[in-house]
Copies of this chain bind each other. A is one copy, B any other.
């Protein structure tokens, strides 16, 4: 038996990867929802040229940490990441979960340093996109520039939805909204929208939704009792989508 992965388990930044894992934007099955969206094949090739692929992150390994110098944004290729900030008193605010096809790291652009940390919730692979290269390419490719503006704008509107959720909605509504969000994002990737495994812990969910673990757990129990969800540890099955939607009770 041969060990292929040298330098495994390091907790620092990514090491460059000697081989490319035979993946490129042209043949990646996420290219319809990821950055290459709206690019023509010639342009995709150019984008592909600036992207660096490295060995996967292990569970709980950091992609970057709060305060690290900002160099790149990252497209998630597989697995899930969480972005979070740590407050003075050591508590954690999760600012987002990132699934395959989604871009993480855009909060580092404003100060040239990352405003949050990003950590793998399970084994995860990312495509590193050096930002200065992306900027140059964006100047040449209006579609890319526009798409990246749109991605940043989407991050803004999603954050604003979370703000509303935290400010106006009950614990039940918050958890229901998160389940629906995960369901929708799964559907985008042609996965089941009614049955999935949560990549994050109850603590992470609580830290994202502004709730304690106990409350999250109680909400799951309640939903199970109402036959809206079947919950088996991290396995979730949505039994009643409409029930879940009316429980989420989302504004506009």
Contacts and interface: CB of A to CB of B under 8 A. Distances in A.
Given A163-B93, A168-B91, A115 B152 contact: no
Given A86-B251, A168-B210, A145 B139 contact: yes
Interface residues of A, number: 50
A204 B252 CA distance: 19
Interface stretch (A28-36, A42-50, A153-161, A193-201): A153-161
Contacts of A106: 152-153, 156
A250 to B, nearest CB: 7
Most buried by B among A136, A140, A152: A152
A91 B166 CA distance: 14
A111 B176 CA distance: 24
A76 B201 CA distance: 43
A156 B106 CA distance: 8
A64 to B, nearest CB: 14
A192 interface: no
B162 A163 contact: yes
B93 A167 contact: yes
B153 A110 contact: yes
A232 interface: no
Given A85-B164, A87-B252, A88-B249, A156 B152 contact: yes
A91 B169 CA distance: 11
Interface of A: 66, 85-89, 91, 93, 95, 106-111, 115-116, 135-136, 138-140, 142, 145-146, 148-157, 159-160, 162-164, 166-168, 207, 209-210, 249-252
